[in-house]
Amino acid sequence: MRRRAVVGLGAAAAAAAGLAHAGPSVVSLGQWSRRRAVPGVCRWRGPAARQVAITFDDGPSPRSTPVILDRLDDLDVHATFFCVGRLVGRHADLVQDIVRRGHQVELHCHSHESHLRHGPRWVAGDLDDAVAALGDAGVRARWFRPPYGHTTTATIASARRHQLEVVLWSAWGREWSATSSDSVARRVTRRLEPGAIVLLHDGEDFSPPGSVARVGDALGPIVDAIRSGGLTPRRLDEVLTVE
């Protein structure tokens, strides 16, 4: 009986530790709520001003990031790019081009692996490497978006150590599963609202081929819908500094 009690306590402790580790990942579900932020944890939306942040993950990519940059130039829109550290190390010139064109560069990760699969030491090391890579490219990030939106207690602690705030999204194109640019645009536009944070992608290292092409074609309709709704597309820092 005593041995069973000890085993039971061990299982309960393991379950509690697992919950403490993965519990914050439920914040990724916040996009479906009306909440704009959980102070000290993450944001899904900006203030209810008449602005929308357009953001891109998974770059920089020499194959696709320039295509997105040219399309944004055509639309006269400035956006925010959440970059992958190991790609930044290979393509620092692209990071500098993003900044030169008036866009914002922030931090996505270094290795693009879910934080739910790793312990605190790995998460901290990955973020350390990503911050260093971005710093070598001349950028000091303020915002951090973990891969897949998966957020653990170590994610939050590591972000705080680097004075980064976790930011997710409230509208996304899910272009990797889309059959056309029209479906990407529809997915985004039906969730547009004042303060929305839109998630798209400018790289295909972690997505099926053709995903970014659909994004490029969807950008025009998305921007048209933002503007026709009386909203203005902005960089993330411009949307979040309204407060």
Structure tokens at 134: 């971005």
| DSSP string over 54-89 | EEEEEE--TTTHHHHHHHHHHHT---EEEEEHHHHH
Residue 16 predicted with pLDDT over 80: no
HSE at residue 139, side-chain half, CA atoms within 13 A, is 30
Which pair of tokens denotes residue 65? 């990031």
Domain residues for the domain of 196 are 2-240
Assess whether the previous peptide bond of 60 is cis (omega < 30° from 0): yes
Of residues 10 and 80, more confidence is placed in 80
Instruction: Answer whether the bond into residue 208 is a cis peptide, omega within 30°.
Output: no
Cβ atoms 145, 107 nearer than 8 A: yes
* Residue 125: CATH number of its domain: 3.20.20.370
The residue from 91, 108, 115, 201 that is catalytic is: 201
| pLDDT (tens digit per residue) in 178-197 | 999 999 999 999 999 999 99
Average confidence (pLDDT) over 189-208: 94
CA–CA distance, 36 with 243 (Å, rounded to integer): 12
pLDDT tens sequence across 122-174 = 999 999 999 999 999 999 999 999 999 998 999 999 999 999 999 999 999 99
- CA–CA separation, 144 and 235 (whole Å): 14
| pTM summary value | 0.88
Count of the separate structural domains present in the chain: 1
Confidence of residue 25 (pLDDT cuts 50, 70, 90): low
Look up 57 and say whether it is catalytic.
Answer: yes
Among 57, 58, 126, 202, the active-site one is 57
For residue 27, what pLDDT is reported?
Answer: 52
SS3 of residue 38 by DSSP: strand
Amino acid at 98: I
Catalytic-residue membership of 115? no
Average pLDDT of every residue of the chain: 88
Residue 80 has, within 13 A of its CA and on its CB side, a CA count of 27
The answer to whether residue 11 scores a pLDDT higher than 70 is: no
